[in-house]
Amino acid sequence: MCGIVGYVGPRRATPILLEGLKRLEYRGYDSAGIAVGLAGSASEEGGAKGAPKASGNRLQVIKKIGKIAALRAVVPKDLPGDWGIGHTRWATHGGVTDANAHPHLDASGKIAVVHNGIIENYRPLREMLEKDGVRFASETDTEVIPNLIARYYEGDLEAAVKAALGHFEGTYGIAVIHADHPGLIVGARNGSPLVVGVGEGEMLLASDVTAMISHTRQVVYLNDGEVVVIEPSGYRTTGRDDRPVDKKVDQVTWELNNIEKGDYPCYMEKEIFEQPESIARALSGRIDRETASAKLGGLNLDKRRLREVGRVHVIAAGTSWHAGLVGAGLLESLARIPASAELASELRYRNPVVEKDSLWFAVSQSGETADTLYAMREIQRKGGTVLGVCNVVGSTIARESEGGVYVHSGPEIAVASTKAFTSQLAALYLFTLQQARMRDLSMEEGLRFIEALEAVPGAVKKVLGGRDELQRIAKKYSHATDFLFLGRGLMYPIALEGALKLKEISYIHAEGYASGEIKHGPIALVSPEVPSVFVVPDDGLREKTISNMREIKARGGPVIAIGVEGDGEVASIADDFFGVPKGDPRFYPFTMIVPLQLIAYFCALELGRDVDQPRNLAKSVTVE
């Protein structure tokens, strides 16, 4: 969703801000803008009480709807900018207009603010300010922030920001600059991430490390309730009550090329093709052949506690929820632990029962999804233990959970999640193995499971070799307006995920269903114009799924089957067939999702869609 970047230091701020915004594009946005401070000449007079002695400083704000390229086109080439802030906006309050884009200024034009999140009580604040004569230039909730800061400003920007924060209900990550405070940015966080980038004689502030990784790898993650002041010489963090807060400097471990496309036309294709390596990374160092189990030290739970787990719940959204559904299914069947995957947005408001022996997993690629985070906090409030399964290191969910597993897929830039999904599966499979081995899975069965798990990256690589065939299939059907995706057992969540991938990047309407459900309604949709994609492995449910395929064929519906190599019967029923390498049926979720990712990708390409940044979507959904 929205993105923030800020810079103070000896270099020109403008190009650094524009580059940072470009790197934040993947989060999804519809307008962008920058505010840079232009230093005037020094003065003996000084401004308001306590303000630094400076005069003639001014802020220049430039903002534009559309892509960063549109903003870049209206930013004067030689605009210096001695310090500044930038923003990518994903509209919530107020339409997509230049006026609603951030940064927003206070009425005097001296204070500029960029804001991620939502100020829920902005209406009464706006009315109060309007009564005092403030005229607003936008329809946003954000514009109350600079105006309220201005009301408290008496020369100390940090103090004014802290005083204003006391009025806001809702969520925010903000960066604030003042014309009379050259080289200084105040940031504050409550529910929307902010990270400080520590450079040599320069400092950055951003909502996401990708915005500053080309300048520094040393970062400091802010927590809710913290305020930071950055200046070229350093940073200081305090609570809103002025109490100093000591922060640890973390080192970003991934490389710049992880967030660049390389030779691929799109991030999504790159990320699909990275899966053999990303799955291997998720497994690396976590398999213990000696005990035929998994080593997951980050869970922070002792053996007794792990053995006593009576029920597992996964909390997640979107693709991560689908990974959770697969994980829960496997846990039940292999470790015999009752397990379920819950939609975070529903769970939070359901007043969930939190049993003492339950273990909760918050599964999230970004680790910032508001629905998942709030659901997790609700469970924690009721005494539940929540572990995180996250990709982004240092993300809020990772930091607020009692322990967990990083999936190590590397930065995922395309809005449509692909490699994070298979890495989440890897983490959940490892946890299942550990639980099963603590219960009644034999050493021999444990070793067989490990062998099959270690074979996954190779099998995924083979599937990727079928790229051209999958492109052919996608081309043939890309002009359909509706698709059905069908599977049973562990393949049901794979069908859901296949449908989600197709709809989000190609905008083709797609429904995922359990194959057994089609006769209860969806079969009415079947026609020669509506292709059905079946995921049909050689497991105990194969015959049942074949019957469902025949039901569709009998009604004139085209069938695409993703099955197992050499399955002549499935191939003969389907109009188009793609086979994945034969293997242990429990591991087909890894291999069978890949053809669905590629079919969705090639359909979107065929239709000329913006694959990496589909309309209306954001990579990290930080509002409810």
Neighbours of 495 (CB within 10 A): 29
Site membership for ligand M6R, residue 416 (CB under 6 A): yes
The rounded Cα 127 to chain-centroid distance in angstroms is: 35
Q: How far is the CB of 366 from ligand M6R (least distance, A)?
A: 3
Site membership for ligand M6R, residue 318 (CB under 6 A): yes
Site membership for ligand M6R, residue 59 (CB under 6 A): no
Is there a catalytic annotation at residue 603?
no
Amino acid at 327: G
User: 100 or 597: whose CB is closer to ligand M6R?
Assistant: 597
User: 171 or 372: whose CB is closer to ligand M6R?
Assistant: 372
Q: How far is the CB of 369 from ligand M6R (least distance, A)?
A: 3
Q: What are phi and psi of 172, to 5 degrees?
A: -155, 145
Q: Is 56 exposed, middle or buried (CB count within 10 Å of its CB: 0-12, 13-18, 19+)?
A: exposed
Q: What are phi and psi of 534, to 5 degrees?
A: -100, 140
Q: How far is the CB of 390 from ligand M6R (least distance, A)?
A: 8
**Helices 275-283, 419-438: inter-axial angle, 10-degree rounding:** 30
Cα 236 from Cα 213, distance rounded (Å): 21
Site membership for ligand M6R, residue 319 (CB under 6 A): yes
Site membership for ligand M6R, residue 364 (CB under 6 A): yes
According to CB under 6 A, which residues from 565 to 584 bind ligand M6R? none
For residue 560, the 8-state DSSP code is: E
Cα 37 from Cα 52, distance rounded (Å): 14
How many residues make contact with ligand M6R (CB under 6 A)? 16
Q: How far is the CB of 533 from ligand M6R (least distance, A)?
A: 17
Q: From the list 31, 365, 506, 548, which residue makes contact with ligand M6R (rule: CB under 6 A)?
A: 365
According to CB under 6 A, which residues from 367 to 386 bind ligand M6R? 369, 372
Stretch that binds ligand M6R, among 35-43, 110-118, 401-409, 413-421 (CB under 6 A): 413-421
For residue 168, the 8-state DSSP code is: -
Cα angle 502-471-457, degrees, rounded to a multiple of 5 = 80
Q: How far is the CB of 395 from ligand M6R (least distance, A)?
A: 9
Q: Are strands 195-198 and 218-221 parallel, antiparallel or unpaired?
A: antiparallel
Interface mask (CB under 6 A) for ligand M6R, residues 417-436, using x and -? x-------------------
Q: How far is the CB of 330 from ligand M6R (least distance, A)?
A: 19
Cα 428 from Cα 417, distance rounded (Å): 17
Amino acid at 124: P
Interface mask (CB under 6 A) for ligand M6R, residues 491-520, using x and -? -------------x----------------
Interface mask (CB under 6 A) for ligand M6R, residues 517-556, using x and -? ----------------------------------------
User: 34 or 474: whose CB is closer to ligand M6R?
Assistant: 474
User: Backbone dihedral region of 423: left (phi > 0), alpha (psi from -120 to 50 degrees) or beta?
Assistant: alpha
The rounded Cα 469 to chain-centroid distance in angstroms is: 30
Site membership for ligand M6R, residue 415 (CB under 6 A): yes
List Cα–Cα distances, 554 to 13, 532, 562, in angstroms: 65, 13, 19
Site membership for ligand M6R, residue 393 (CB under 6 A): no
Whether residue 617 contacts residue 28, with contact meaning beta carbons closer than 8 Å, is answered with yes
Cα 539 from Cα 542, distance rounded (Å): 6
DSSP line for 134-151: ---SSS-STTHHHHHHHH
User: What's the distance, Cα to Cα, between the start and end of the chain in Å?
Assistant: 12
Tell me if the bond preceding 585 is cis, omega within 30° of 0: no
**Residue whose CB is nearest to ligand M6R in the complex, by number:** 318
Site membership for ligand M6R, residue 621 (CB under 6 A): yes
Bridge partners, residue 250, by sequence: 219
User: 60 or 422: whose CB is closer to ligand M6R?
Assistant: 422
Site membership for ligand M6R, residue 294 (CB under 6 A): no
Site membership for ligand M6R, residue 366 (CB under 6 A): yes
| Given the residues 110, 501, 503, 619, the one annotated as active site | 619
| Given the residues 2, 266, 390, 603, the one annotated as active site | 2
Whether residue 216 contacts residue 197, with contact meaning beta carbons closer than 8 Å, is answered with yes
Q: How far is the CB of 426 from ligand M6R (least distance, A)?
A: 15
Is there a catalytic annotation at residue 390?
no
Stretch that binds ligand M6R, among 130-138, 317-325, 528-536, 571-579 (CB under 6 A): 317-325
Q: How far is the CB of 201 from ligand M6R (least distance, A)?
A: 34
Site membership for ligand M6R, residue 226 (CB under 6 A): no
Cα 376 from Cα 80, distance rounded (Å): 44
Residues that bind ligand M6R (CB under 6 A): 317-320, 364-366, 369, 372, 415-417, 504, 617, 620-621
Q: Supply the residues annotated as catalytic.
A: 2, 619
